[in-house]
């Protein structure tokens, strides 16, 4: 389950963030360079371009970290899938169960 979460929640969503930030940066740059826009629109486009650039940098960093984590954990996930020992992933083990069915312990 953690591998699916890492792939979908990490790599795929980070990739989508990189794509949307890149598109936003291109469109804001085009608007900022437009000669027909008045001064207020160009100023606003510059602010949007700066925010899109920061978003692009942060999403590229997140994507890189997620890909590195996926590469590092992939052998453990494969081993757990082969022998069925999912409980050993991430320091887990047997779930501690109490004798009581009460939520208060």
pLDDT for 32-70, tens place per residue?
A: 887 776 888 888 888 999 999 999 999 999 999 988 988
* Residue 53 lies inside a defined structural domain of this protein: yes
Domain range enclosing 70: 2-85
Compute the mean pLDDT over every residue in the chain, rounded to the nearest whole number: 80
* Residue 67 lies inside a defined structural domain of this protein: yes
* Residue 15 lies inside a defined structural domain of this protein: yes
* Residue 92 lies inside a defined structural domain of this protein: no
* Residue 55 lies inside a defined structural domain of this protein: yes
Residue 97: Cβ-neighbour burial (10 angstroms; 0-12, 13-18, 19+): exposed
* Residue 50 lies inside a defined structural domain of this protein: yes
State the total domains in the chain.
Answer: 1
Question: Comparing C-alpha atoms, which of 52, 54, 67, 51 is closest to residue 15?
Answer: 67
- Predicted local distance difference test score (pLDDT) of residue 20: 95
């Amino acid at each position: 389950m953690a591998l699916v979460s890492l792939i979908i929640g990490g790599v795929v969503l980070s990739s989508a963030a990189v794509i949307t930030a890149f598109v936003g940066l291109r469109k804001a740059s085009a608007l900022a360079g437009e000669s027909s826009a008045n001064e207020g629109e160009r100023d606003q486009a510059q602010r949007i371009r700066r925010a899109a650039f920061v978003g692009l940098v942060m999403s590229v960093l997140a994507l890189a970290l997620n890909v590195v984590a996926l590469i590092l954990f992939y052998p453990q996930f494969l081993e757990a899938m082969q022998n069925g020992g999912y409980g050993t992933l991430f320091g887990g083990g047997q779930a501690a169960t109490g004798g009581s069915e009460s939520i208060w312990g």
